[in-house]
Structure 1
Amino acid sequence: MTGGFETEKATAAAWFGKLRDQIVTAFEGLEDALGGDVPAGRFERTETKRTADDGSDAGGGIMSVMRGGRVFEKVGVNTSEVFGELGPAAQKAMAARGVPGMEDDPRFWASGISLVAHMQNPHAPAVHMNTRMFWTPHAWWFGGGSDLNPCIEYDEDTSHFHATQKAHLDPHGADLYPKLKAWADEYFYIPHRNRARGVGGIFMDDHCSGDWAADFALTQDIGKAFLPAYVPLVEKRMRTEWSEADKDTQLIHRGLYAEYNLVYDRGTKFGLTTGHDANAVLMSLPPLAKWV
């Protein structure tokens, strides 16, 4: 594959930004709806910059974070658009993933949206979502998904989350949802704990059918599924009374999330090894966690 792919890059990056704005609006609406003495939370937007080894511009993004709200203890909705040349280690990783020619032309471009929400109420589930596009002169692909991470599980919440994702994926093929669900179950697993970090969702990586428009449409539907899959669960649980024991359960469960993101998550590793803003990369970590 050759060429700059400039139109496709711009289209994808713009859509990730649009999705971010929709999610920010919806989450601030939840803050308003809950009421109470605590001020409704609002997102703070910070521009992030990435600099190449030679000091040149290498892209950046927007970090949107809310802390200490009525509903959300901490939630980040970040977008990024970065570019440059992959270093030797990253080139080797690309080659291992079946991308040829990186040693001859190591240029790359990547854009995406990444979201992690940690809740005030232990009965309201934490959640993760991301979608992304990655380009090199030799290949392009999409990735992403979303998964639910409740510390106190409700079967009906899990069923709603999965059913909504299935409804958005079914137009792309009846076999797709089972495939991406199984992929999420495998990917969001913590080997050293012998357990999943949550109740699953959907996940894909290195997705390239050869039809960019079809792959982008699938990626959009993964993103579009997020709000209808998640917001009703928060609306249902954000007023539930909770105890100190419930909070303790939440903090211990958050420890699993932190362990996974620091040890196994590909996005965390890629962001840190390619020089992206560390605060943006580590936005996913909870504000408080506990180990026993």
Structure 2
Amino acid sequence: MKRIPANSTSATKGHELVSSLQNRFVSGLETLASTLGSNQRFSPVEWFRDGGRHGGGIRYESADGDLFGRGSVNVSQVHYDDNPEKKLGSASAISTIIHPKNPLAPSVHIHISWTEMKNGKGYWRMMADLNPSNENPAHTLQFLDAMKEAAPNCYDEAVAQGNRYFFIPALGRHRGVAHFYLENYRTGNADADYALAKTIGEAAIDTYLEILTQALQNPAKATDVEQAAQLAYHTLYFFQVLTLDRGTTTGLLVHDQNDVGIMGSLPALVDRKLLASWIERMQAPQNRLLEALVAALPGTSPALVDEAVKQKLAEVVRSHYRRHPEAIEMQASGNFIPPTVKNHS
């Protein structure tokens, strides 16, 4: 089986960029692991869209190690060069999440993507957010300063969009502490837009590696309270991704050929009882979604989110929004909501 790449020059360039960011991040994570005396590595997993005819991707993943409880660095390109009925030409993306095992080391989420329509128009989506279970204010400032230096002219807008997108109304709080989000980004200068996406991606990756090094090089022993805070925060992260994150939902609705990859952002362990306590805070029909998600988890405490569970959770989300398509409007958004599912239809 072989992945067929998209035809357009800009799609090729976009895929080369996200692939270079993937290599940069995986190499940096593995170098850090070696420096710290860990043998944890990231293994490649390839997937194919329609047997490779419409692209696919490769992700590097790691789990249950001494440094990373869960880690996924996924690159994909989906295209419809052979289907004139599709409005979407191609979409090339890197989407990555790292959940360190140490409660004093923050998680990170980074997403850079180029979406191109067949009419020649295209746009970038750029996200970077720091997600500690036990916040270190110096790390928060370090991450935000790096984003501001990378994108000084659109930093305020990106932070405003990020703060809006990652707010969880039912819980009255945000996921994460540092949010950067540019949706539907395009100017009249394609080269400058590409350069900005590259700069933001590299800055987010490099800064996170610096923060991770600081947290893990001479790690303090986490207290029981800090350990408990990590489990509670990972539960919140799970909640936000599966009930609010528009990218996760649209990915699952578009196709079912990379469910485990799309669910790669989920942490390894969650508190099933805490998750269930939030059902009553949810509006209908989202309360039924959360009930079904809780039911799909194992009854252990804490509940392990392995590949089999991820498959079940993917089906729960997909089935829910097929029954309640109007509920997608209840999901998170920035200043612009891309018609992703419609573009793939």
Instruction: Name the TM tier (shorter chain).
Output: 0.7 to 0.9
In structure 2, distance between residues paired with 1:34 and 1:73: 16
The answer to whether the Cα contact below 8 Å between 2:143 and 2:178 also exists between their aligned partners in 1 is: no
Mapped pair 1:140 → 2:139: no
In structure 1, distance between residues paired with 2:10 and 2:205: 25
Instruction: Select which of 109, 121, 126 maps to 2:90.
Output: 109
The answer to whether the Cα contact below 8 Å between 1:41 and 1:68 also exists between their aligned partners in 2 is: no
Question: How far is 1:217 from its partner?
Answer: 1.1
- SS, match of residue 61 in structure 2: strand
The answer to whether the Cα contact below 8 Å between 1:142 and 1:207 also exists between their aligned partners in 2 is: yes
Instruction: Select which of 143, 148, 155 maps to 1:166.
Output: 148
Mapped pair 1:252 → 2:248: no
The answer to whether the Cα contact below 8 Å between 1:189 and 1:197 also exists between their aligned partners in 2 is: yes
Question: How far is 1:202 from its partner?
Answer: 0.8
The answer to whether the Cα contact below 8 Å between 2:166 and 2:179 also exists between their aligned partners in 1 is: no
Instruction: Select which of 78, 81, 93 maps to 1:82.
Output: 78
Question: How far is 1:56 from its partner?
Answer: 7.5
Trace 1:91-130 onto structure 2 (pairs within 5 A).
105-130=86-111
TM-score, normalised with respect to structure 2: 0.72
Instruction: Select which of 249, 257, 264 maps to 1:283.
Output: 264
Instruction: Select which of 241, 259, 262 maps to 2:221.
Output: 241
Deviates more, 1:256-265 or 1:237-246: 237-246
Question: How far is 1:108 from its partner?
Answer: 3.1
Aligned twin of 1:40? 39
Runs of 4+ in 1 over 2 A off after TM superposition: 104-108
- SS, match of residue 105 in structure 2: coil
- Taking a change above 3 Å as real, the CA distance of residues 10 and 56 of structure 1, as seen in their structure-2 partners, is closer
In structure 2, distance between residues paired with 1:105 and 1:76: 30
**Higher relative strand content:** 1
In structure 1, distance between residues paired with 2:126 and 2:199: 11
Instruction: Select which of 212, 216, 241 maps to 2:194.
Output: 216
- SS, match of residue 170 in structure 2: helix
Instruction: Select which of 222, 228, 243 maps to 1:263.
Output: 243
Question: Structure 2 counterpart of 1:14, which letter?
Answer: E
Higher relative contact order (CA 8 A, sep 6+): 1
- Taking a change above 3 Å as real, the CA distance of residues 10 and 286 of structure 1, as seen in their structure-2 partners, is same
In structure 2, distance between residues paired with 1:257 and 1:47: 26
The sequence identity of aligned pairs, in percent, is: 29
The answer to whether the Cα contact below 8 Å between 1:188 and 1:196 also exists between their aligned partners in 2 is: yes
Question: Structure 2 counterpart of 1:59, which letter?
Answer: G
In structure 2, distance between residues paired with 1:203 and 1:5: 28
Aligned twin of 1:153? 135
The answer to whether the Cα contact below 8 Å between 1:161 and 1:201 also exists between their aligned partners in 2 is: no
How many matched pairs?
A: 263
- SS, match of residue 192 in structure 1: coil
Question: How far is 1:247 from its partner?
Answer: 1.5
In structure 1, distance between residues paired with 2:29 and 2:62: 10
Question: Structure 2 counterpart of 1:42, which letter?
Answer: R
Question: How far is 1:224 from its partner?
Answer: 1.2
In structure 1, distance between residues paired with 2:176 and 2:52: 40
In structure 1, distance between residues paired with 2:40 and 2:86: 45
Deviations 1:220-273 (A, max 9, x none): 111011133211211122222112332111011011111111112122122111
The answer to whether the Cα contact below 8 Å between 1:162 and 1:229 also exists between their aligned partners in 2 is: no
- Taking a change above 3 Å as real, the CA distance of residues 248 and 202 of structure 1, as seen in their structure-2 partners, is same
In structure 1, distance between residues paired with 2:253 and 2:108: 25
